Structure 1
Amino acid sequence: MDSTQQKCYVCGKESSRKCSQCKEIFYCGEQHQKIDWKRHKFDCAFVYVTDPNMGRCLIAKRDLNPGDVILMEAPIAFGPRPHLVEEGPVPCVGCCRLIMAEKSPRCEGCDWPVCHNDCVGLKDPNKHGHECFILRLRTHKALDGLHEYYRQDALFALRCLMVQRKGIKKWMQFLSMESHMEKRGVGTEIYKEYDDRVINYLEENFLKPLKRLEQDSKEPIFPDMSRETLHKICGIIDVNGLEVNQGAEVMGLYPIACSMEHNCIPNTIHSFEDEFANYRITMRAALPIKKGERITTMYTHSLWGTQARREHLKETKYFSCACERCKDPTEMGTYLSALRCLGSETKPCGGNQLPLNPLDDKTEWACDKCEIKIGNIQASYLINQIGDDVDQVQLSNPTVRELDNLLSKLLTFLHPNHYHCFSVKHSLVQLFGYQQGYLPNQISDDQLKRKAKMCRDMLDITSKIDPGNSRLCLYTGVLLHELHLADVIYVKRKWDIGNKKELLELLKEADESLAKAKEVLKYEIKTMSGEKLHNLMDSSRKEFIRWTQRNKIDLNKEIVE
């Protein structure tokens, strides 16, 4: 056989036509190439390996460039997010959009609250269609205590139990997902919590009547309804569940995507299709990935400090992260967790307190200017107390003045880039120019300059901890749009009296900010927040073009004073 020819990937015929992506697989050019190409184009992106410490991981099978699709996958199960709701809105059992249970109509079959009687999800077998039969087995109806009676937080576990109805292959695939039952078994606090909150609720209200129905009909509806299996289902949901950001309270389980390795600076970005495509996930490369490198995602929040991220991962995913960001006391030069050193009573300092070893839960924190050290317990207590104060203010619909006062207090104890300061600043830049007293015609020049500087500082942070815009695209998009607005408002005020050369640079920055924001948000167009931000940017772009044309400004032409 000619050295340039190999056997066709599908039928075995000799061929010289290679896959353009992996350069390894050959096709003969027959019609079946078009059919099997969909299957192969993801096979050629990654390969599974088993790491003794991390378990199953994905390794790049070829060089991947930003934007390259790595996989597309339908969830093996999806349903309402399993969060306990004690008051307020709950997800519709048909579409998972939030509704007020007390005022909503009821499903004609099971009497559970729905958004409206024509909700397409009510008869969809992938959504409410099949579970409705089980939920209607409860003989009594709710008179009061609706949130305790209609427990949407238990529905996802029920939907996962129903995967058995899809066949043994799907059920075994589901059970092969990690549950960490060795760490959450009988005797643990989490076992008791789920036993009381989910398993008892499902058994008493639905599964016992179902078992009686099975005995009467002598046909098993579910081969396995044991408490052990229900606990394993809850473990699989906790460890693997991905929240689907599609304007509804949805969580999905994706067998391949959920097996990806965690990294606090991930090299992939994921997006979801809408409910009509059953929330299919698409994973793309966010950064260049060389052949043989790990393909990673993130299972916690990018804007949390190292201690908070690692604690969250240990509590929910049962592993301790040791990625490059977690090992670096400065978090890639951002100082996102750094504290201010207060010095001694006689000698103020102003340096930065940083953990000596961020991977040690008992590490000391040392100042980078003086000899003072503090314990991790002391540092954690301070950060948690400040976090409580920030949450309390942020939830109270604060004014610019209230946020400014809070930020002033925080800067006494925290580095200006600390993630609690970032949270307050991100809220502030969205109020400058919008809140009464700080509207575009009211805000001062100094406040506009301050807003622009805060945006630039925060953009510098997001570029370091999320260089592929894989997790903070909405935060970054907002900052870029607010920077655009601050620059434009300032330039409009000064155009007739200011330094044209300096003002032109601000206009260029404003123009580039919108272009960057569009690029950052290109995979967020289908989400509610992303769509809203895209519309705002389109409106800002039109106004920007009108103003520059009206004033005959050419951004590509240098101005000589």
Structure 2
Amino acid sequence: MASPMASQSVSSVCNYLGCTEPAPLKCSRCKQVKYCSKDHQRRDWKAHKARCVVPPAPLSSVAHSPSLGRYLVSARSIPQATTVLSEPPLIPPVLHDREAPLRCPYCFSASPPHPSCLSKVKASEELRQDREGEARANEALKPHRAPPTVVLAARVLRRVFPPRGEGGDSKFMSLTSNVEVMESSLKSKLREMAALSIRYYNLSRAGPPIVEPGLDDSLGILARINQNAFTIADSELQPIGIGIYHQAATTVNHSCSPTMVSSFVFRETEPPQLQMRTIVNVEAGLELSNSYIDTGRCTVDRRAELLSSYCFSCSCAACKYGARHDASASQYAEVAAAGLRVQQLIDEQRFEEAALTLKSALPAYEKALFAKSPNLGIQLYKCCKLLEYCEKDLQLAADCRRKAEEILSVAFGEDDALVKEIKARF
């Protein structure tokens, strides 16, 4: 229901043509257009009716419980392959060292810095301070380089303890740290990184902060990064960087049999966007979850990693009831060994051996990984390419390509570069 003055739909004055009175009433259908009185709303209906659009019902909402804390649930039935969450990073993310020469440091595209990205960085004082300050710090640390986690921590420090005291970033500090319940070995490691983060921050800053950060401040930041950061990966699930995504970190819980998977969207002039898509049909009221770790491991190992890294004991259905369905220890070992061996053979250009090795490991992959796992889709597509290149078992290659397309189209979406590549093969 928008009137000829649709551009005023977000205004606080009446939407009826010519009226400039304050508008306390809203159209009850679209909730976008405002009116000063019911009389003006009735008079405007003929013009507004054709453009009145009911906003779609939200896909999700945040619930709370003593055991789960804040968590995301489906507000209505959601079909698989639906993007439920999409958000930019809270803090500019950091590339891994090996990717730095190959990718734009701002948008992470696989090319040198885009001129348009450089222009955006120069136009933002905050981004420019990051770039210039880190160049100073990197020069001072030569021949050593600070780990990406330390660089990210220094970026947080610059925002929490800004040089001119404009007020720090409270949104990041609202994240959970779990520092009180961490294992002593992890806390000790983070304390060492915290000291390096302060040094890197001091080398990179342009002027003294109003409040000088201490070791405990830096430790709290490192602990929050450790508990909440996402590994940014390309379409082939190769890690390329690290970033903080606030909404996902504060509302999406872990499950070893998740209803969603995360991936990243790369666009020029924008930092990597996190998206989470459903990989199964989700009924209204069910929790929307993601996996924090590699699920291709047995229940005991998964639970141990979650407890040591994220400070909780997983009680998802896969952990409660899945142990009896776990792949055998030899199958998990086969999956781990096959991945390393296949990559080694590819690096040595022994493609036929790589194809046969991966082909023989596919049953173990299908047993160890959940059915819609993107990692399974990646392995299937890799097997397809190797078999086609070597002209071996082309029927299996076609089956692998079809299964990979089904899995990755759901997980990543039809616009993903890898999905388009798979579709273009036939």
Moved more, 57-66 or 227-236: 227-236
State the secondary structure of the residue aligned to 2:246: coil
Shift of 1:190: 3.6
- Note the C-alpha offset of 1:230: 2.1
Hey, what does 2:213 align to over in structure 1?
225
2:338–2:361 Cα contact (<8 Å) kept: yes
SS at match of 1:244: strand
Q: By how many angstroms is 1:74 displaced?
A: 1.1
- 1:66 partnered with 2:77: no
Aligned amino acid, residue 254 of structure 1: Y
Tell me the secondary structure at the aligned position of residue 47 of structure 1.
strand
Residues 525 and 534, structure 1, Cα contact 8 Å, conserved in 2: yes
For residues 304 and 225 of structure 1, do their structure 2 counterparts lie closer, same or farther at Cα, with a shift above 3 Å needed? same
Q: Tell me, in whole angstroms, the C-alpha distance in 1 between the residues paired with 2:210 and 2:256.
A: 40
From 199, 221, 244, the counterpart of 2:232:
244
- Could you say what secondary structure the match of 2:177 adopts? coil
Task: Find the residue that maps to 1:194 and give its secondary structure.
Answer: helix
User: Would you say 1:424 and 2:311 are equivalent positions?
Assistant: no
Alignment partner, residue 289 of structure 1: 282
Counterpart for residue 303 of structure 2: 310
Q: Establish whether residue 95 from structure 1 lines up as the match of residue 105 from structure 2.
A: yes
In the other structure, the counterpart of 1:80 is: 94
Is 2:29–2:52's contact at 8 Å kept on the other side of the alignment?
Answer: no
Distance 1:479 1:124 in 2: 45
2:266 aligns with: 274
Alignment partner of 1:44 is 2:58? yes
Which aligned pairs between 1:448-487 and structure 2 lie closer than 5 A?
Answer: 454-455=361-362, 457-458=363-364, 460-461=366-367, 465-479=369-383
Classify the secondary structure of the residue corresponding to 1:49.
strand
* Cα displacement (A) at 1:242: 0.6
Report the Cα distance in structure 1 between the residues aligned to 2:240 and 2:314, rounded to whole angstroms: 28
- The residue number in structure 1 matching 2:174 is 176
| Corresponding residue to 1:147 among 119, 144, 151 | 144
Query: Who is 1:515 aligned against?
Result: 402
Q: Could you report, residue by residue, the CA deviation over 1:257-287 in whole angstroms, capped at 9, with x for unpaired residues? A: 1231111011112221216321111221110
Which residue in 2 is equivalent to 1:489? Answer: 392
2:165 touches 2:210 (CA, 8 Å); kept in 1?
A: no
Q: Determine the C-alpha separation between the residues in 2 that align with 1:285 and 1:210.
A: 42
State the alpha-carbon separation in 1 of the partners of residues 219 and 132 from structure 2: 22
* Residue correspondence of structure 1 range 338-357 to structure 2 within 5 A: 338-339=328-329
Question: How has the CA–CA distance of structure 1 residues 91 and 513 changed in structure 2, closer, same or farther, with 3 Å as cutoff?
Answer: closer
Q: Which structure 2 residue ranges, 5 or more long, are not aligned? A: 1-26, 38-47
Inter-partner Cα distance in structure 1 for 2:73 and 2:114: 47
Ranges in structure 1 where 5+ consecutive residues have no aligned partner:
15-27, 99-114, 215-220, 340-413, 492-506, 542-561
Q: Give, in angstroms, the shift of residue 510 of structure 1.
A: 4.9
Taking the TM superposition and a 5 Å limit, the aligned residue runs for 1:389-468 are: 414=330, 418-425=331-338, 439=352, 454-455=361-362, 457-458=363-364, 460-461=366-367, 465-468=369-372
Corresponding residue SS for 1:489: coil
Whether the 8 Å contact between 2:256 and 2:318 is mirrored in structure 1 is yes
Q: Per the alignment, do residues 145 and 474 of structure 1 end up closer, same or farther by CA in structure 2, a change over 3 Å counting?
A: same
Cα distance in 2, alignment partners of residues 244 and 176 from structure 1: 22
2:272 counterpart SS class: coil
- The C-alpha deviation readout for 1:453-500, integer Å capped at 9, x for no partner, is 643x246426xx4223345431243345557779x7347xxxxxxxxx
Determine the C-alpha separation between the residues in 1 that align with 2:398 and 2:107: 36
Helix, strand or coil at the partner of 2:31: coil
Distance of aligned partners of 1:170 and 1:476 in 2 relative to their CA distance in 1, 3 Å threshold: farther
Match of 2:316 in 1: 323
SS of the counterpart of 1:56?
A: strand
Amino acid at match of 2:32: V
Pairwise CA distance, 1:65: 0.3
1:137 and 1:206 in contact (8 A); partners too: no
Aligned residue in 1 for 2:44 = none
Paired residue secondary structure (1:234) = helix
> How far apart are 1:289 and its partner, in Å?
0.5
Contact 1:431 1:438 in 2 (8 A): no
Q: TM-score, normalised by structure 1?
A: 0.55
Go from structure 1 to structure 2 and tell me whether the alpha carbon gap of 1:453 and 1:48 turns closer, same or farther (over 3 Å shift): same
Is 1:253 the counterpart of 2:244? The answer is yes
* Distance change (3 Å), C-alpha of 1:64 and 1:471: farther
Q: Secondary structure at the match of 2:318?
A: helix
Compared with structure 1, are the counterparts of its residues 454 and 482 closer, same or farther at alpha carbon in structure 2 (3 Å cutoff)?
Answer: farther
1:161 is matched with which residue?
157
Deviations 1:3-59 (A, max 9, x none): xx9554334789xxxxxxxxxxxxx7686859xx5xxx5x71111111212211111
Deviation, 1:249, is 3.1
- CA 1:169/1:290 → structure 2, altered by over 3 Å: closer, same or farther? farther
Rounded Cα–Cα distance in structure 2 between residues aligned with 1:453 and 1:420: 14
3-state DSSP of counterpart to 2:261 = strand
What is the root-mean-square deviation in Å for CA atoms of aligned residues? 4.7
Would you say the 8 A contact 2:229–2:243 is kept in 1? yes
Contact 2:157 2:218 (8 Å CA) reproduced:
yes
Whole-Å Cα distance in 1 between the matches of residues 256 and 126 of structure 2?
Answer: 33
In the TM superposition, what whole-angstrom CA distance separates every residue of 1:408-437 from its partner, at most 9, and x where no partner exists? xxxxxx3xxx21112334566789999888
Deviations 1:145-188 (A, max 9, x none): 5115x554421011122344699999222211111122249xx4
